[in-house]
Structure 1
Amino acid sequence: MALKRINKELIDLGRDPPSSCSAGPTGDNMFQWQATIMGPSDSPYTGGVFFLSIVFPTDYPFVKPPKVSFTTKIYHPNINANGSICLDILRDQWSPALTISKVLLSICSMLTDPNPDDPLVPDIAHLYKTDRSRYEATAREWTRKYVGSVQALPVDRWRSDPAALPLPRADTRCDRAYVLPRPASPWSCVSVCLHLLLTATCRNHPVPHIAIAHFVPSS
């Protein structure tokens, strides 16, 4: 039952992807996904692409929600240093009617409108309430520091040669970029794969980039 539901959600994500989000399995394990969220333009996280881990329980979607956590560092009152997220639908308000698409959209909304009254990091919540400009400046600095070199790249069609993909815009911190496509197994692509990971050399340190594209399974 769980695998059937997860497969359906993956297909639905390809047919009607949520704005500024993407998600899909890592490798052949359908119970472990990776997701990405683009920082909302009306938030201090704008310009960043944040990575998340999704682990589905074996009885999904009944009883327990999926375990969703940030793997990219982020400064937010409802997200702690381990990436855990304080969101009611991922706790006691979970319903089998919810989907990963709805969860990701709720997280996007939380980035724009934090809930300082139910914080996971009280110090950040206090700053949000008492000094909003300082909170936003710190959140922007974290975004620049940890995901500032991550850019979303439009990919309009399937490219058999990764080198033909558009590269990130010129950035003073990055001087080279290599396209590393991740297979979308077990699906066959008629459009583009769900994710294309890029790595740029930034002061001799690898910096992750991602090209976000919509995956369309073959009929």
Structure 2
Amino acid sequence: MKFEPPLFHPNIYADGTVCISILHTPGDDPTMYEQASERWSPVQSVEKVILSVISMLAEPNLESGANIDCCKLYRDNRPEYERLVRQSIKEQLGL
């Protein structure tokens, strides 16, 4: 899953690719961070994937960040993080 244009978010890579367990390739995690049951499988419903993304947007996982600078800013200076998110969205909307 990829956001176009990319979002400034701790769990979204600079190219817009979403980094959450449910979308990771199936099977065992080579880094042993995730259990196989947390990763992608064909039984995952669209609803479950969408709910996972909504949850990630509302509550980022800072321990498994895709954008490390964004993770640090979210953790250490939430007002600045929120300002940058608002600014980015306004720019994308041409406001």
Query: Same fold by TM-score, threshold 0.5 exceeded?
Result: yes
Structure with higher helix content: 2
Looking at secondary structure, tell me which structure has more strand per residue: 1
Q: Which residue of 1 aligns with 2:18?
A: 85
Q: Deviations over 1:29-83 (max 9, x none)?
A: xxxxxxxxxxxxxxxxxxxxxxxxxxxxxxxxxxxxxxx1111221101111211
Moved segments of 4+, more than 4 Å: none
SS in 1 for 2:2: strand
% same residue:
35
Is the aligned partner of 1:131 residue 2:83?
no
Match of 1:145?
Answer: 91
Which blocks of at least 5 consecutive residues in structure 2 are unaligned? 27-38
How big is the shift at 1:126? 0.6
**Structure with more contact order per residue of length (Cα contacts < 8 Å, sep ≥ 6):** 2
Q: Tell me the equivalent position of 2:66.
A: 120
Equivalent of residue 99 in structure 1, options 27, 42, 45: 45
Between the two proteins, the alignment pairs up a number of residues equal to 82
Question: Between Structure 1 and Structure 2, whose CA radius of gyration is higher?
Answer: 1
**1:76 and 2:9 aligned:** yes
**TM-score relative to the length of structure 1:** 0.35
RMSD: 1.6
Question: What pairs with 1:31-46 in structure 2 (closer than 5 Å)?
Answer: none
CA offset at residue 136 of structure 1?
Answer: 1.0
Q: Which amino acid aligns with 1:70?
A: F
Residues in 2 aligned to 1:132 and 1:109: alpha-carbon distance in whole angstroms = 18
Structure 1: which 5+ runs fail to align?
Answer: 1-67, 150-172, 174-219
SS at match of 1:109: helix
Query: How big is the shift at 1:89?
Result: 0.5
Amino acid at match of 1:94: W
TM-score of the superposed pair, with normalisation by structure 2: 0.76
Q: State the 1:106 CA deviation.
A: 1.2
> What residue number does 2:56 align with?
110
